[in-house]
Amino acid sequence: MAADPYTTLGVKEDASQEDIQKAYRKLAKKLHPDLNPGNKKAEEQFKDVAAAYDLLGDADKRARFDRGEIDASGQERPRQRYYRDFADDASQYSSDAGFADFGDADDILSDIFGRQGRRGNFRMRGPDVHYQLELDFLDAINGGKKQITLPDGSMLDVTIPPGTREGTVLRLRGKGRPGAGGGPPGDALVEIAVRPHPVFKRKGDDIHVELPLPLRNAVLGGKVTVPTPSGPVTMTVPKWSTSGTVLRLKGRGVPRRDGKRGDEYVTLKVMLPEKPDPELEKFMAHWGSATPTANGGQRQAMGA
Amino acid sequence: MEIPEFLLAARIKTEALDAWLEAGWLMPQHNGGRAFSEVDVARAQLIRDLQGMGVNDDAMPIILDLIDQMHGLRRTVRVLLSEVRAPTG
């Protein structure tokens, strides 16, 4: 520090100790690196201010300086590192209290904290607790909110993301047991089980469904209504659709994380009318004798 | 580091150290015995600077906690920015 300490602090040479202290405090509040972690310029200035105050803040030292016994240089105190220099390392002082309420984003943020390895004997994170939740097939596909009743009678809200799979473990930050010594609470881990559906089968992100198709639609084609997880839709069946034909309904499957959806695959199953139809029987008797070898090739291949 | 070395590095007296430990302002890690690290030194210097600025004992824990929160936020912003800047994932 080459500059005159009085100038650095902005005080007159006959200023009282009290005024010097006041001037220092005013500057220090503005310039201290730990209070201005983003301001690199402040650090240099603070160093000068601190050195000047080291000299003038002490009445004895100030008197010796005024008498010329010591000079302003050589009074710089070697400062190792500021507290902010440790801000990027996880330590026992690390705190996520500034954003612990961010909800979904908290998952990402907590991961960042977790990845950098929070240690600490004084602040102990509380233990996790495990729960199981059985969902209806469609609730798992479409997502929604569920509640778990905890052993102590309180309710825990669980948000089911759309497309949740069997065996998925949902992590609810901070819903576990309380931490020790001001440490954060643990998480609640909810394992999801999904009940089967009478109509829909899930394979990955696709839905498979077997659709009974009236004989008339199978022969002539036409529009039919098909159930999907998000509600019934209309599908066009081409004429001459036989049993086992698979049609794809694009984007009618399971919602994915990227906002897209899997597909629904519809397997047709041709059905005769429920009650015997004399007219149809009569027609068949005539039609069958006219084409006795219908599909003969396929049947032969099976050895029938 | 051991206590004598820490007192020297942080430029504080034993009484101050005892009081700050008591108040929970300093929380050295247990490592077999009580071990002070560089972060404790820096924090002690910060506490000393804050006292020099006129921060009293009641206000100190509030300020320390807010600074720790600010560091947590800064760290998080930094990580998020680096993730955002990364070309893919």
Please report which helix (H) or strand (E) contains residue A51, including its range: helix A40-56
Q: For chain B, give the mean pLDDT.
A: 83
Residues of A in contact with B52 (CB under 8 A): 24-25, 28, 53, 57
pLDDT at position A105 is 55
Q: How far away is chain A from the Cα of B71, in angstroms, using its nearest Cα?
A: 5
pLDDT at position B20 is 92
Phi and psi based region of residue B2 (left: phi greater than 0; alpha: psi -120 to 50; beta: remaining):
beta
Mean pLDDT within B59-87: 82
Residue of A nearest to B54 (CA): A25
Place B89 in a pLDDT band, splitting at 50, 70 and 90. very low
Residues of A in contact with B68 (CB under 8 A): 93-95, 97
Residues of A in contact with B65 (CB under 8 A): 95, 97
Contact A34 B49 (CB under 8 A): yes
Any CB–CB contact under 8 A between A32 and chain B? yes
Q: How far away is chain B from the Cα of A38, in angstroms, using its nearest Cα?
A: 9
What span, in angstroms and rounded, lies between the C-alpha atoms of A292 and B7? 105
Angle between helix B14-23 and helix B38-52 axes, rounded to 10 deg? 100
pLDDT at position A30 is 87
Residues of A in contact with B29 (CB under 8 A): 92, 119-121
Contact (CB, 8 A) for A195 and A171: no
Residues of A in contact with B54 (CB under 8 A): 25
- DSSP category for residue A227: -
pLDDT at position A119 is 40
Partner residue facing A28 (CB), from B45, B52, B78: B52
Contact (CB, 8 A) for A51 and A73: no
pLDDT at position A292 is 55
Count contacts between A and B (CB, < 8 Å). 99
pLDDT at position A118 is 44
Q: How far away is chain B from the Cα of A147, in angstroms, using its nearest Cα?
A: 31
pLDDT along chain A (304 residues), means of 10: 79 89 90 84 84 86 82 58 78 75 57 50 71 92 89 84 90 83 82 93 94 94 94 94 94 89 95 91 79 63 75
pLDDT in tens, B53-70: 889 999 999 999 999 888
Any CB–CB contact under 8 A between A85 and chain B? yes
Q: Which amino acid is at A194?
A: V
Contact (CB, 8 A) for A119 and A92: yes
Chosen for mutation from A25, A27, A34, A84 (greatest number of chain B CBs closer than 10 Å) is A34
- The pTM of this model reads 0.46
Phi, psi of A9 (to 5 degrees): -85, -10
pLDDT at position A149 is 83
Helix (H, G, I), strand (E, B) or coil at A44: helix
Mean pLDDT within B12-41: 82
